[in-house]
Chain A
Amino acid sequence: MKIAVLSGKGGTGKTTVAASIATSLEQCQYIDCDVEEPNGAIFLKPDIKESLPVKVPVPRVEELKCSGCGFCAQACQFNTLAVVKGKVLVFQEICHHCGACLIACPQGAITEMDREIGVVEYNEDGTFMQGKLNVGEPISVPIIRELKRRVKNDMPVIFDCPPGASCTVVHSIEGCDYCLLVTEPTPFGVHDLKIAEQLVRKVGIPFGVVLNKALQANGSVQEFCGRNDVEILMEIPFSQAIAAYYSQGLLPAEYNPEWKDRFRKLYEKAERGVQG
């Protein structure tokens, strides 16, 4: 089964939940799709053995063949190309690697070259994988695609998704069987939970909620879940002790077998959620 762990925004404990499930299961693959700020490794402490550059094709213009007609710049929908004084300028960072300019050029003056935008790293048996976007690069989806090409099919897979609800999250949860939405009992938490809920409903994946930093009164989250027929699968109490361990890079499931058990149960609930 493939489970995606997400939240409307970061900082709600998404990585804690994803990494805790990963440590609690006998065997599984953990994939950190939060390529802008991958943090799973801090908790899971994998032994990274391989680091593969993620390359994307960007256009290169052969000046001798180019007539300066500007068709390429017209075809490009992302303002990546500009023709100035008969010369084509390429703003590589914002290229979406679609190849439209190649097709548009009547002179065959455009070829492509590889450009590195980040890396995909993994441990020896590939049970831990993470992607990292290079600083200054705006486009992260190609790295998520590269991670998804390496998904294992013979064991549970846990995806730690990027925060937010934009295209990067859609690419991360695509193909997953179940989504866990992590939230916290503040007005922000409820607001962001609504956004995440809309997203998973739109993509059409079954889901449930994990309430982190739960207090005595979690009114707004519970009310929202009740009204929208969403199940709260687990509550993690607000505790200074957990926060202090977290700050050290330690997971509750590591120092307390009871938590290990609870996260295993969370996984089983998700499994039943897929069947039901």
Chain B
Amino acid sequence: MEGQVPEIIRKGREGCTGLKQIAFVSGKGGTGKTTLVSSLANLVQNKMLADCDVDAPNLRIIINGKVRKQEDYFGAKEAFIDPTVCLKCGLCKETCRFGAISEDIEIIPFKCEGCGACTLVCPVEAICLKEVKTGRTCVTETPMGTFSHAMLDVGAEGSGKLVTEVRKNIDGFKNNEEWVLIDGASGIGCAVIASITGVDAVVAVSEPTRSGLHDLERVLDLAEHFQIPLFVCINKYDLNREITALMERFCKNNGCPVIGKIPFDPSIIRALQEFKTPVEAGSKEVTEEIKSIWRRLTVEVMSLGKS
């Protein structure tokens, strides 16, 4: 029924209790979300890290550590036909709504959603569903804290489920930390929904472009939909001050505080090319701004709990 909490959301809430979770998201990737999270990973004490961008997990490129747990994740099912039993009656093909069964009664793997409808109509039980691997999860111990991440197999389904698994792993390894910093998935679909469910705050990392503004509007809608407080950080704000001003006005009108503006700094790209975070590479202006972002964020998040 409407208004009920769907499962992915219930699962998100089960994970991670007792510590404050902050998810960093951007409508599109490439706005500096991972750069910000990796810098905070250097600055913030007593925290855990999670990379929920399982399509293209980037945080692990700059944060290395010792593996504590690594597992294949079976997050989907697929139909298999036993050709020795099949009568080629074609009933399964007629039933499948995803065009996943060919003329010759063979399963087309990437079209199969694993729904099992075909198994229900086969008169001779020639079809069964099997679990298929959709990715691999990993928990590492790093100098910056315990770090949970995962990699979705190319073209696999169910990135949302894998994200939920990453967040469950955080829960399994917690050890009195205060914070969980989540590098969220991009977009507004299942992966990002799973990244932000149950978190204490969402930080949208945006760039002052026309498309950035458009994406920010969508992220705001999403945060409102799930009733999670949203904060905004404008990256490369000096690239287009006019749109930055528009963004600030937009945030003000919608009651989401802008907690920081990071200047455009070519040294960030150079730092990344050396596998370093901007804070490590020592760009002073950027480091100061990121520190101030964290100060504001802690104050804001702490006061959320009190009200």
Chain A interface residues toward B at CB < 8 A: 8-12, 15, 36-37, 39, 42, 75, 77-79, 89-94, 96-100, 103-104, 133, 135-140, 162-170, 174, 184-188, 191-192, 195, 198-199, 202-203, 213, 215, 217, 220, 238, 240, 243-244, 246-249
How far is A94 from B158 in the complex, measured between Cα atoms in Å? 11
Known contacts A90-B1, A97-B97, A167-B158, then 12 further A-B pairs from the complex at CB < 8 Å, ordered by chain A residue: A12-B30, A36-B188, A37-B188, A37-B215, A79-B7, A99-B97, A133-B188, A133-B189, A138-B193, A165-B55, A185-B273, A247-B209
How far is A99 from B211 in the complex, measured between Cα atoms in Å? 38
How far is A42 from B214 in the complex, measured between Cα atoms in Å? 9
Contact at A135–B239, with CB atoms within 8 Å? Answer: no
Residues on B with beta carbons closer than 8 Å to the beta carbon of A139: 189-190
Contact at A91–B115, with CB atoms within 8 Å? Answer: no
Residues on B with beta carbons closer than 8 Å to the beta carbon of A195: 55-56, 154
How far is A94 from B225 in the complex, measured between Cα atoms in Å? 16
Residues on A with beta carbons closer than 8 Å to the beta carbon of B1: 89-90
Residues on B with beta carbons closer than 8 Å to the beta carbon of A78: 115
* Known A77-B77, A169-B155, A199-B154; contact A91-B4, beta-carbon cutoff 8 A: yes
Contact at B28–A39, with CB atoms within 8 Å? Answer: yes
Determine how close the nearest CB of chain B comes to the CB of A184; give it in whole angstroms. Answer: 8
Residues on A with beta carbons closer than 8 Å to the beta carbon of B250: none
Chain A CB within 8 A of B257 CB: no
Interface centre among A9, A78, A192 (most CB of B within 10 A): A9
How far is A97 from B117 in the complex, measured between Cα atoms in Å? 11
Interface residues of B in 254-275 (CB under 8 A from A): 269, 272-273, 275
Return the contact of B156 from the options A167, A174, A185 (Cβ within 8 A). Answer: A167
How far is A8 from B157 in the complex, measured between Cα atoms in Å? 16
Contact at B215–A247, with CB atoms within 8 Å? Answer: no
Contact at A247–B4, with CB atoms within 8 Å? Answer: no
* Known A89-B4, A91-B7, A195-B154; contact A75-B120, beta-carbon cutoff 8 A: yes
Count residues of chain B with CB under 8 A from any CB of chain A: 68
Return the contact of B272 from the options A98, A188, A192 (Cβ within 8 A). Answer: A188
Contact with A along B194-220 (1 / 0, CB 8 A): 000000000000011111101100100
Chain A CB within 8 A of B58 CB: yes
How far is A266 from B251 in the complex, measured between Cα atoms in Å? 39
Minimal Cβ-Cβ distance residue in B for A201: B154
| 8 contacts across the A-B interface (CB closer than 8 A) | A10-B30, A36-B186, A37-B218, A89-B1, A93-B6, A165-B155, A188-B272, A198-B154
Return the contact of B56 from the options A138, A164, A244 (Cβ within 8 A). Answer: A164
Contact at B31–A11, with CB atoms within 8 Å? Answer: yes
Interface residues of B in 221-278 (CB under 8 A from A): 221-222, 225-226, 239-240, 243, 269, 272-273, 275
Contact at B187–A36, with CB atoms within 8 Å? Answer: yes
* Known A94-B8, A138-B189; contact A187-B272, beta-carbon cutoff 8 A: yes
Interface residues of B in 270-299 (CB under 8 A from A): 272-273, 275
* Known A92-B2, A138-B8, A165-B155; contact A188-B34, beta-carbon cutoff 8 A: yes
Residues on B with beta carbons closer than 8 Å to the beta carbon of A174: 110
Chain A CB within 8 A of B114 CB: yes
Residues on B with beta carbons closer than 8 Å to the beta carbon of A240: 239
Minimal Cβ-Cβ distance residue in B for A170: B155
Return the contact of B209 from the options A12, A79, A184, A246 (Cβ within 8 A). Answer: A246
How far is A79 from B11 in the complex, measured between Cα atoms in Å? 12
Contact at A192–B56, with CB atoms within 8 Å? Answer: yes
Contact at A91–B189, with CB atoms within 8 Å? Answer: no
How far is A217 from B270 in the complex, measured between Cα atoms in Å? 11
Residues on A with beta carbons closer than 8 Å to the beta carbon of B272: 186-188
Contact at B159–A166, with CB atoms within 8 Å? Answer: yes
The 7 A-B residue pairs whose C-beta atoms are closest, nearest first, are A11-B30, A164-B55, A98-B115, A36-B187, A138-B190, A10-B28, A249-B210
Chain A CB within 8 A of B61 CB: yes
Contact at B56–A163, with CB atoms within 8 Å? Answer: yes
Chain A CB within 8 A of B27 CB: yes
